[in-house]
């Protein structure tokens, strides 16, 4: 079993780049300091149909966001989620960027974790 980390709004289904139905919204661009705003998260045909993205570690998530971003995300109802998936239910993408992707239907458990688990010191 593996634990991955994802930012999303549980009410709207909006993540940092996409809604849960796969429509690109680029919410990340609304944040003032997002270090990951320019990651090329365009449509990837290999990730169509039930894939979601996140990070494999909290440290990677902390590299993506600033304290200001976290405050803005929380104000918009987004949360940080720990996602439990079987080891065969996820993979790392490496081209053109590195992040974890997982099969939504294989999620065993998900729990909200407090933002303060991220080390956001500059």
Q: What CA–CA distances, in Å, run from 74 to 12, 34, 39, 69?
A: 13, 14, 21, 9
State the pLDDT at residue 115.
95
State the pLDDT at residue 94.
64
Taking residues 10-19, report their average pLDDT.
83
Q: Encode pLDDT of 51-85 as tens digits.
A: 788 889 999 889 888 899 999 999 999 999 999 99
State the pLDDT at residue 33.
81
Q: What residues are paired with 101 via a beta bridge?
A: 53, 91
Choose the most confident range, by mean pLDDT, from 42-46, 60-64, 88-92: 60-64
Measured between alpha carbons, how far is 38 from 10 in angstroms, rounded to an integer?
24
């Amino acid at each position: 079993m593996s634990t991955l980390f994802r930012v999303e709004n549980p009410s709207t289904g909006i993540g940092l780049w996409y809604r849960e139905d796969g429509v690109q919204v680029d919410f990340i661009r609304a944040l003032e300091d997002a270090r990951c705003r320019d990651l090329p998260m365009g449509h990837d045909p290999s990730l169509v149909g039930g894939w979601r993205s996140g990070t494999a570690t909290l440290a990677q998530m902390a590299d993506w966001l600033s304290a200001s971003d976290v405050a803005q995300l929380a104000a918009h109802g987004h949360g940080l989620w720990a996602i439990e998936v079987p080891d065969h239910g996820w993979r790392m993408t490496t081209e053109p960027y590195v992040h974890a992707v997982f099969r939504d239907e294989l999620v065993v458990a998900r729990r909200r974790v407090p933002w303060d688990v991220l080390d956001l010191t500059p």
